[in-house]
Structure 1
Amino acid sequence: MGAAVADDGFDFRPGAQIPLQGGGGQTAATNALASAAYRDGGKDTALSSILGANSENHPASVKPPKISLFEPNLGEAFCRAVEARTLSPGRKPLIQSFGADPQTVVEHCLAASRIRKERDRKLRLIMLVCGVVFLPGLLLWLGLFQLRKTLAKGEGKKSTWIGTALLVGVVLVAAVLLYRVVYRAPGSGVLELYLFGSLVAPALGWFLARRICESTAADLRSRWDGLLGGGGVAAKIPDAVPGNPDEKAREDLRHQLAKLTAEDRSNSVFYAGPKGILGMGTRWGSWQMAEELTPKNEGAEIHPFRSWDVIRAMDAQLRKLERGPLHTGGFPAASIQHWIVTPVGEGAGEVARPTGEDVDTFLVKPHEITRICNEQQFSAGNRHYLGIQYPLWDGQLVITMLVTVTVLYKTLRVDVTAHALGPVHGLFTTKSKAPVIEVPKSVRFWETVERPLPLVDASEVVRLAVRAPLTWYPPLLEYFGGKLVLPEPFGLRHVWAGTMWRHRFMADDALRTVAPVLRAVHAAAFKVLEENGVDTDRFTNRSSIMSGLIQEPAPRRADVYDA
């Protein structure tokens, strides 16, 4: 069943290699996250830039490199971290990515990694022929570039000029020494030719590597811009399409992708204290209606009913919100789901999804949902919430309203809470910038003009060439070059979500959702109460008071209690 669930929109049968995208109207957030996989080339892809996208509750970190020449850029580190976290066997559970399609993001990571592997295969061949064969010269050049890169980290331009001067100076000294060696005894043997080749071959290899790196970087950056521009950039991943039953690696990858989508559609979520419900954003508003259950007619008794009866009526009423009495657009079709909420610690490093005979492919079965709704309302255990969710702004804003009904002794309580997940951080929605330099005009020297620079500079070519021989074993490469450490519990969407309260229209959408949802919930509750002989006067009075209060719903940190 897991594979069947995952195949909705993604056909992994033999021959299908291009996933379908954009079917759920959530392409903006998905494409923004997927574009990070293609961040390559240029100075706008430094790994440290992702630290600026950290959220308050879910910060990522960067493990510094032991040797700076092995340090990955943003695209390389992002792909490696996401693939290892989402596709590794025995991985920890993932948090749902509301408003985005995590499988599409992971597939773009796989596609970008495939492009880089093809580049690295060519670079390894160049390193073997022009580097390993002439090892003394290779070590000399690498030492010079490492020294220059280390000095370039100093403050100001002085350190950069010192590094460049040392590089040029050592090259001149080496050339003079080579000249003396060659012409002291011309044609005397192979040693002189080898020394000459040791200096020339790495430089020739660098020239060939630069052409390969520039073409690959241009390809990756065009995909980066294509995703953010709304173009149909497809992630081609033939490694996930088994050609025959013996291709175990491809079959395992296909199953991991299917598992990823099935888990993302789970109806089990986690409440982490002040961090709110993981994946849905923090709770910014809460409204309660709690009144005593008294018979409508004196001397009569209330007809027995359960919390589930009230919840079912609310479910039916909420599904009518998109059909308003006026032709004004109104609400779009909502996603209405019965959620099972599990409490976890604020600093929990991982979560554990419910398992057992009451769970099927990450989905808690209906009979267990009903039991939890009716019986687990107090003390330890999971809780039931009815949720109505609106992914808006092409997935950049996710509004979720949760409803829970509890009955303790003679008191019926209806809680309505509001959650909002803001847009993806601006880092992920920024297009690539071509490297340029400002130079004065030849005649009008007081004016400047921008001239394009090479997409991949000399240091970047050296970095890629040095990393290429180790890309076949990523753990060793991470040991020398560092890596991106993802926050836990991890979910692709909420980790890099920003606040939506600084965006006027997004904030208005969140605030305007409250009143219609709250009134629909109360109307459904009153209907059930009246059908079962309950006096609804107190409930309607309380609802009228709340109807006045929500005219101006003030956002606040509802998950933080001042106690």
Structure 2
Amino acid sequence: MADSGFDFSPGAQIPLQGAGAQAVATNALASAAYRDSDVTEILKANSDWHKSEVKPGSSKLFKSDYFKPNFGEAFSRAVQERMLGGGRAALIQSFGTDPQTVVEHCLAATRLRRARDVKLTLVTVLCGVLFLPGFLLWVLAFRARDSFAKSKDKAFRSLGGLLLLVVGGLAVVFLIAMPLTGLIALYLRAAVVAPVIGWLLAKRIAEASAKDMRARWEGLLSGGGISAKIPEAAPKNPNETAREALRQGLEKLAAEQQSNSVFYAGAKGILGMGTRWGSWHLAEELVSADPAKEFHHFHSWDVVKAIHDQLKLLERGPLKTGGFTKPSVKHWIVSPVGEGADSVTRPTGEDVATFQVKPHEIQRICNHQQFSSGDRHYLGVQFVLWDGQLVITMLITVTVLYETLRIEVTGHALGPVHGLFLTKPAAETKTVKKAVRFWETRSITLPLVKANEVVRLALRAPLTWYPPLLEYLGGKMVLPEPFGLRHAWAAKPWGHRFMADDAMRAATPILRVVHSAAIQVLKDHGVDTSRFDSRSMALSGAVQEAAPKKADVYDA
């Protein structure tokens, strides 16, 4: 079983970039690992049902923004912990994306930051810890300046910069008019100067890292970028348990992404596939075509299998004018969960292997679990369009209760990744008045790495070896549950005209294929199909006026 810790992978693999058909959505999410904006930006991407949180640090003694993570740091840490952590809860499939690629970029970004932090730690120790009195003086000065800068009073905010200048002036006076002599005097002079030198070195290291991170961020959103390199996921010998655990974690993630079990969460729809926007039902009585004898008995699976075979041919149109791309036609086992459920549990047992419900169990559920408790079977045809930005899923279920055959077709649509993840890095600017023509303004570009950011990185660097301590001091990002990379930050497709058209246009031909295949099975088994034909024609006309509805929100 997949959940028993069994290693079902073929061995160490070379990480590959996301598939081309879903590169835009994958790269947009992966770019979050390299972002240097404020961590609270993630709150802009919250939807009605999936909300991320930013929790502040728990420490009362060392409560400071200098330990607060930025967007990329918090995102990388949260995604790695949630998707690779030991004993993690089940994940929701990320249709339209390659979650392994996103996680690999989070790992690569973390590795780059750790390499930067090693250099910053060395600078902090040599220029800060060894000259602690001066180091503390400068840190307190920066902290006081930031406190003044938070004031709503403009005059009061200017005092922060003035205070820093005063401290600098006093430091110069202290260097020139040192009241002490000997080694202690040399040490105190060095304690004043060394943190300044360390700050300059740290600034260069931080700027080089920021340029590299922004280049990767820009590259991913431009359609290229550097692939994620994670050598720590390829163990060189059996004793490298950490690397082996990481490799197995990535393989488990890839296997769960291919799972054929999904979860229906009430009005949220099927998690990972989006809300249900349309539903069409064909339900008629099973009557023999020959009154003198009964029709030949059949199972729901016989109808489903015929529909499956016909859906595989959707890409073959009668005209050479484009049409459907190759769809994914798959049998799904759907488990019900509450709309407010904060976790899900995948099916387990001897009928499940590597997160896949076995074919004989799928057939049993299709034929026998149509009423009362238990999982249900759905046949799905899925299109991943717009480079992964739109996922259209049409689900078909066939049930037979007493003498009534019911065929239900429902439409689900998962929209594009939230626009926040599609923003490219931009230099921060500030509008100021011109020196001579003071009635005019001009825009100036601010430094890539500000002074307080250098201080933040330098203070965090020695603590990055133990992330829980940093989370205690500075806070963390909390991901929405049940978590899946794609649906957590998906926008509605109906705001994009062509995406909405694609979703609604797919309904009519799929509905007709489903009905045609089902009616043919009925004819082959001697069932009178006249009522089914009439009902199918009525639905065929009604579906041409398809419009997105809240099909899972019942007016009751």
Q: Deviations over 1:513-549 (max 9, x none)?
A: 0000111100011011111111111111111111111
Which residues of 2 match residues 102-251 of structure 1 at below 5 A?
102-155=99-152, 157-177=154-174, 179-180=176-177, 182=178, 184=179, 188-251=181-244
- Structure 2 length normalisation: TM-score? 0.95
In 1, Cα distance between the equivalents of 2:144 and 2:491?
39
In the alignment, is the contact (CA less than 8 A) between 2:216 and 2:225 conserved in 1? no
In 1, Cα distance between the equivalents of 2:361 and 2:411?
25
Which residues of 2 match residues 33-44 of structure 1 at below 5 A?
33-40=29-36
| Residue among 488, 495, 507 paired with 1:502 | 495
Equivalent residue, structure 2, for 1:30? 26
| Offset of residue 6 of structure 1 | 6.0
In 1, Cα distance between the equivalents of 2:466 and 2:439?
53
| Equivalent AA in structure 2 for residue 527 of structure 1 | Q
In 2, Cα distance between the equivalents of 1:159 and 1:486?
38
In 2, Cα distance between the equivalents of 1:145 and 1:232?
36
| Residue among 369, 375, 382 paired with 1:376 | 369
| Offset of residue 478 of structure 1 | 0.2
Q: Deviations over 1:353-402 (max 9, x none)?
A: 01111001000000000000000001100000000000000000000000
| Residue among 386, 390, 393 paired with 1:397 | 390
In the alignment, is the contact (CA less than 8 A) between 2:218 and 2:225 conserved in 1? no
- Residues 4 and 519 of structure 1: is their aligned pair in 2 closer, same or farther, counting only changes over 3 Å? farther
Instruction: Compare 440-449 and 217-226 and name the one that shifted more.
Output: 440-449
In 2, Cα distance between the equivalents of 1:49 and 1:151?
24
| Offset of residue 299 of structure 1 | 2.5
Classify the secondary structure of the residue corresponding to 1:398.
Answer: strand
Equivalent residue, structure 1, for 2:261? 268
Identity of aligned pairs, percent? 62
| Offset of residue 203 of structure 1 | 1.0
| Residue among 22, 28, 52 paired with 1:60 | 52
| Offset of residue 145 of structure 1 | 1.7
In 2, Cα distance between the equivalents of 1:420 and 1:530?
33
- Residues 457 and 87 of structure 1: is their aligned pair in 2 closer, same or farther, counting only changes over 3 Å? same
In 1, Cα distance between the equivalents of 2:12 and 2:428?
39
| Residue among 70, 80, 83 paired with 1:83 | 80
In the alignment, is the contact (CA less than 8 A) between 2:7 and 2:248 conserved in 1? no
Equivalent residue, structure 1, for 2:60? none
In the alignment, is the contact (CA less than 8 A) between 1:68 and 1:146 conserved in 2? no
Structure 1 residue 413 corresponds to structure 2 residue 406: yes
In 2, Cα distance between the equivalents of 1:160 and 1:398?
49
| Residue among 527, 531, 538 paired with 1:534 | 527
| Offset of residue 559 of structure 1 | 1.0
- Residues 383 and 251 of structure 1: is their aligned pair in 2 closer, same or farther, counting only changes over 3 Å? same
| Offset of residue 428 of structure 1 | 0.5
| Offset of residue 21 of structure 1 | 2.0
In 2, Cα distance between the equivalents of 1:74 and 1:158?
31
| Offset of residue 24 of structure 1 | 4.7
Which residues of 2 match residues 339-488 of structure 1 at below 5 A?
339-439=332-432, 448-488=441-481
In 1, Cα distance between the equivalents of 2:154 and 2:365?
65
Equivalent residue, structure 1, for 2:42? 50
In the alignment, is the contact (CA less than 8 A) between 2:19 and 2:98 conserved in 1? no
In the alignment, is the contact (CA less than 8 A) between 1:6 and 1:261 conserved in 2? no
In the alignment, is the contact (CA less than 8 A) between 1:399 and 1:418 conserved in 2? yes
Equivalent residue, structure 2, for 1:330? 323
- Residues 22 and 490 of structure 1: is their aligned pair in 2 closer, same or farther, counting only changes over 3 Å? closer
| Equivalent AA in structure 2 for residue 52 of structure 1 | K
- Residues 137 and 232 of structure 1: is their aligned pair in 2 closer, same or farther, counting only changes over 3 Å? closer
In 1, Cα distance between the equivalents of 2:508 and 2:161?
65
- Residues 98 and 453 of structure 1: is their aligned pair in 2 closer, same or farther, counting only changes over 3 Å? same
Equivalent residue, structure 1, for 2:311? 318
| Residue among 16, 27, 30 paired with 1:20 | 16
For these two proteins, the number of residue pairs brought into alignment is: 548
Classify the secondary structure of the residue corresponding to 1:133.
Answer: helix
| Equivalent AA in structure 2 for residue 63 of structure 1 | K
Q: Deviations over 1:124-162 (max 9, x none)?
A: 111111111111111122122222223323336445323
| Offset of residue 212 of structure 1 | 0.3
- Residues 445 and 174 of structure 1: is their aligned pair in 2 closer, same or farther, counting only changes over 3 Å? closer
